[in-house]
Every structure is written in structure tokens, then in C-alpha cells.
Chains A and B, each alone.
Chain A
Amino acid sequence: MANVLAFAEQKEGQIRGVAREAVGAAAVLAGELGGEAHALVVGAPGVSTGAAALGAAGATSVAVAEHAELGDFHPEAYATVVAAHVRDGGYGAVVFPATIMGKDLAPRVAALLDVPLAGDVTELKVDGGAVSVVRPVYAGKAFAEIRLAATPALLSIRPNVFAAGSGGGDAAVTVFTPEVDPSSWRQRVIERKSEGSGALDVTEATQIVSGGRGMKDPEHWGLLEELRDALGAGTALGASRAVVDAGWRPHGEQVGQTGKTVSPSLYVAVGISGAIQHLAGMRTSGTIVAVNKDPDAPIFKVADYGIVGDLFEVVPRLTEEVRALKAKG
């Protein structure tokens, strides 16, 4: 019997949706290990406000480490707090979200605890008392089943794959103040630029509108931005390697083997032919739509729905129809 801890990521004092997914995954594991799912939130004073609500995602208790210096992610301090909490709690497994923060934090915690880490997991189970996971390798061209032979089993879950748990009421919340010594920090954020609130990383978006070389010119991206806005909150822009290499779009948007592997519920590929390394990065999406003028483009082999045609005619029409649909509700 062992309890499972979920790291519940917060941003600007708000507990993120992906934190509920981590708690949901922790609850599944805890059920199989015969223990409880707990959550840990690290942030500035006041972050505990939303903590009890993690009960609804499957946590029976939530520990909140509050400190004025911990409002923003500081990797060394966060890793120290998380590792100490895992050690003290005697956890059998720890679940991180595989976000930009989680991917930076989890390996540090693993090194501090001297246990290995399985990252970006898409399935998990308990087999003979040991945690076993499935994770994509070669950017999704294959899936490896991996058995974690150390305790605690450390893993990070891919966003948008696991459901938050359900059922529970408010969780019991314990707030504590960890020891933090900023004078020992070897690194700090000195400047932060936001591209507007609501901008999402492509790995966390539930819907992605992705553009490729068929877009012809970076100035045409307004078409895709309009479709993104019509699809609404949770939609991000993606890009193929060709347009990132051409300098049309930032690398952060690149989907595929030298970019990001994504699993949104809806993926709209516009003017993307579908190179193998791109298909690998998006083939686990829920529904795939392709718009391409070439009927033989490989993208149509993985798309659920395709339209063969000139994207400059098809996309504006699509935006218009989606807007009309959303207006009807």
C-alpha cells in the first residue's frame, strides 16, 4: 500500500488545468496501489485558495508550500521543496505534468531523490506491484512500455491525455512555509515577456491550427489566427518544420520530431503535406482535419477528414462556418 503524490502546477497563483490531470492520474495509480492520491502545490502566499478544489479531481489531501519567493517557478528551490516532501511522505509514486515547468523540475527531483524518471507518459498501470508506463519514443513513431523498478516511481504525464478524477468533494488542505534561501540561488528570471494572456503552448492546447509551406508567405498567417480565434479558448497555432526552418514561425510552434509531440482533441493541418517526422508528432491527436491542394499528400492518410482545395479559399470559409456555429451555441 502506498500513496501517490501529484505535483499541482500553478501559474500566477492559479492552479492549472493540467494539475487536475496529474491528480487524476495519481488517483488511478493510488487506486491500484491501494493508497490515496495527494497533491502538492508550491507558490506564493494565497495560492492555497484554490487547493481544496483538487479534491474534485481525485486528491484526498493537498499540501501547500507557500513562500513569498516561490510565486514564480524557481527550479532549484522548487526541486528542494518537492524532493523533501516526497521523502517525508514516503510516497510510492510521484506524478508531474510534462509541461515546460514539469520537464525542467522533474529531472532535478529525480536526481535529488536518486530515482529514475519516465517522462511524457501517455498510459500507466500497476503490474505486480510495480508501476509500468507507456511513453512515445522517436517523437511518436513508436511507443515503449517501461517498467519502473525504483521507489518512488517518478513520471510526468503528457498534457491532454489523462482525465482529471471525479467524485470527491473538497480535499483537506495543509499549508506550510518551506525554508527558502534566495541568497543561495544560482539562477533567476530577470525579465519576462508575455505574448498576451491566454497564449498557450502547443503541447497544452486542446485544439491546434497548424500551417505548412502551402501557406506560401508568413504574412498569410492572419488566416490561421482568425481560425484559431473562431475555435476559441484552448486553441494554439502550430507549424511544420519547413516553415520554422524558413524563419516564418518560431520554433516553439513546431510540431514533429525536432519540435513538439502533441495530442490535442482537434488538429487542423493547413498546407502541410505530412512528412513522416511531422505525422509522428501529431498522429495521436483526437480528430485530424487536413486542407491541402494535393490529393496525394501523405497528410490525408492520417486525417479523419480532408478537403482537397486551395487553402486561401477553404480556410476563410471554415472560419466563417465555425464562427456561425459557435454563435448558435
Chain B
Amino acid sequence: MNVIVCVKRVPDTETRIRIGEDGRSMEVTGVKFIMSPYDEYAVEAALRCKEAAGDGDVRLVTLGQTDSQETLRQGLAMGADSAVLLVGDVTADGLATAKALVAELEGTDAPLILFGVKAADDDQQQVGPMVATLMGRACVTGVVSFEVSGDVVRCHKEVEGGSEVIEATLPAVLTITKGAYDPRYASLKGIMAAKRKPLDEKAAAAMEGRLEVVSLSPPPDRAAGKIVGTGPDAVPELVRLLREEANAI
């Protein structure tokens, strides 16, 4: 079974964010970039799908600059078969990103297109369901695990106070969250093989971004707190402060 996985290059989640000189973007000097962790779960899910079916290709798609090649090679080293880099700017406008992806994905015969549930940089959680809506495909978001049987994909999802099982008809788009698909490490052999796997590069379809980032700021500082005390004897004073000073309980 052919599976397409859309991935994104993001700053490592341990990165301390510094604001760039333009006041609208992050300072990238010295920052390590990784494949968004949720996208790694999606790649792992795709590889297991292919392994379970015994045939098919896993193809990676990303929108970004040439440095995103590194992200794609990482996915190829995990075991994906091919990749395409759509060279273009990623803006804050998720719909513009979705349209650029759809221009590439339209007409694909892959019954499954996977995304991470969200990108670890802008946290919008929107490109997957937008792509599905534009392509007229079913879409299940926040999927913890799934199984394909025939032309149906059965998805497990966590919702407020419980869980759901959702069945969708293929072709479908799924956005994958943490749960069942701990990503495999790329083996040395995988890393060597990835260098020879096809990685196409082409210009992304022209997009009009309609969300403009005016400024980027650090989070507001929290006033320094206080250590109320040591051990259980400090609890009555803590509770008094929470009630009388903070009005929190």
C-alpha cells in the first residue's frame, strides 16, 4: 500500500527561542533543527503500514527551503522510499501551505496521506484537515493508532474524557499523535541507503499568504515566586496563601 507522509522541519523542542533582529521571526543561528516529532510518528506509522501490507511505497513530501533536504534524508534513513521537496516559503498561513501541498498531492493514487497532528513550531493543527477538505477526502485528526482493512481505515482517537473509534473510507488523510508509533532509529545501513534514494526538488506552487506575522515576543516574565517552606509543615501556609493572596482555591 502506498502511503504519503507530509513532514516539516522545525527547531529542536529543547531550543531556547531567541527573537531575530527583524522582531518577527526566531533567531536561527546556532539552532538545531529536527523533523517535527509528530511527523516522526507519522513516518513510523507509514512504514508499519507498508510492512503489514507487504508492498507499497512510502513517499515523503515537504514544503520548505533546501535545508529541508536534511529532514527528508532523515525520513529516508528511517525507511521511506522517496521524497519530494517543494521549494517555497512556509508562512504562518496554513491554508497557503495546504494549497501548495495539494498542488503536489492532487491525483496521487496513495490511499493514505499522513501528517503529524501538529507541527512543533507553530502548533496550528490545521494543514492536515485543510488538505483533506481541499482534496475531498475523509480526515481523522489526532489518531493514536489505526488499522487498514480493505477500503476502510479504523482509527483510535482520544477525546475529552474518553476515546473514540472512527472508521473512514479510503482514500483518507490521518493526522497522527503520540501513542502507538514510537519512531525507529535509522540504522547505519539505512543512513547510507538514504543517500541513494530519490529526492526530487521542485518549485512550490505560488501561494498567497494572508496571515502576516507583525511581531514575535518572548513570553511575559513571571514575577519571582517564593518558597513557602520545607516539608509538610509548610502546607497550611501554602493553602492560606492560595486562598487569601492568590484567590486560587
Contacts and interface: CB of A to CB of B under 8 A. Distances in A.
B95 A117 contact: yes
Nearest to B215: A145
Contacts of B228: 305-307
B175 to A, nearest CB: 9
Interface stretch (A21-29, A214-222, A316-324): A316-324
Contact of B216 (A99, A104, A143, A305): A143
Nearest to A154: B95
Nearest to A259: B178
A313 interface: yes
Interface stretch (A38-46, A47-55, A108-116): A108-116
Residue of A145, A147, A302, A305 most packed against chain B (CB within 10 A): A305
B203 interface: no
Interface stretch (B74-82, B105-113, B161-169): B161-169
Contacts of B214: 132, 145-147
B210 A115 contact: yes
For chain B, the bracket of interface size reads: 35 or more
B167 A309 contact: no
A138 B98 contact: no
Interface stretch (A56-64, A86-94, A164-172, A283-291): A283-291
A233 interface: no
B192 interface: no
For chain A, the bracket of interface size reads: 35 or more
A195 B162 contact: yes
B149 interface: no
Contacts of A266: 242, 246, 248-249
Nearest to A138: B17
A142 B19 CA distance: 8
Interface string B131-151: 011100111111010000000
Residue of A146, A231, A265 most packed against chain B (CB within 10 A): A146
Nearest to A132: B214
Residue of A103, A197, A199 most packed against chain B (CB within 10 A): A103
A191 interface: yes
Nearest to A196: B161
B164 to A, nearest CB: 5
A259 to B, nearest CB: 8
Contacts of B124: 117, 119-120
A85 interface: no
Interface stretch (B1-9, B53-61, B183-191, B232-240): B232-240
A295 B122 CA distance: 33
B160 A276 contact: no
Nearest to A280: B219
B66 interface: no
Classify the interface of chain A: helix, strand, loop or mixed.
Answer: mixed
Residue of B16, B163, B210, B211 most packed against chain A (CB within 10 A): B211
A314 B210 contact: no
A139 B123 CA distance: 7
A110 B127 CA distance: 10
Contacts of B179: 251
A260 to B, nearest CB: 10
B142 A100 contact: yes
Contacts of B212: 146-147, 149
Contact of B95 (A111, A120, A139, A265): A111
A111 B133 contact: yes
A257 interface: yes
B95 A119 contact: no
B121 interface: yes
Contact of B246 (A103, A194, A196, A287): A287
Contacts of B242: 266, 287, 289, 305
Interface in A262-316: 265-266, 275-277, 280, 283-284, 286-289, 295, 300-310, 313-314, 316
B64 interface: no
Residue of A79, A99, A250, A287 most packed against chain B (CB within 10 A): A287
27 contacts: A100-B159, A103-B126, A108-B130, A111-B95, A115-B95, A118-B92, A132-B214, A138-B15, A138-B17, A141-B15, A186-B169, A190-B165, A190-B167, A199-B160, A200-B161, A251-B158, A257-B120, A259-B178, A275-B14, A289-B238, A300-B225, A304-B222, A304-B246, A305-B241, A307-B228, A309-B232, A321-B236
Given A309-B232, A313-B232, 15 more contacts: A76-B138, A110-B130, A118-B92, A120-B125, A142-B26, A143-B216, A149-B210, A186-B169, A187-B166, A187-B172, A190-B167, A275-B14, A284-B220, A289-B242, A326-B249
Interface of A: 11, 75-76, 79, 99-100, 103-104, 106-108, 110-112, 114-120, 132, 136-150, 186-201, 204, 207, 231, 244, 250-252, 254, 257-259, 261, 265-266, 275-277, 280, 283-284, 286-289, 295, 300-310, 313-314, 316-318, 321-322, 325-326
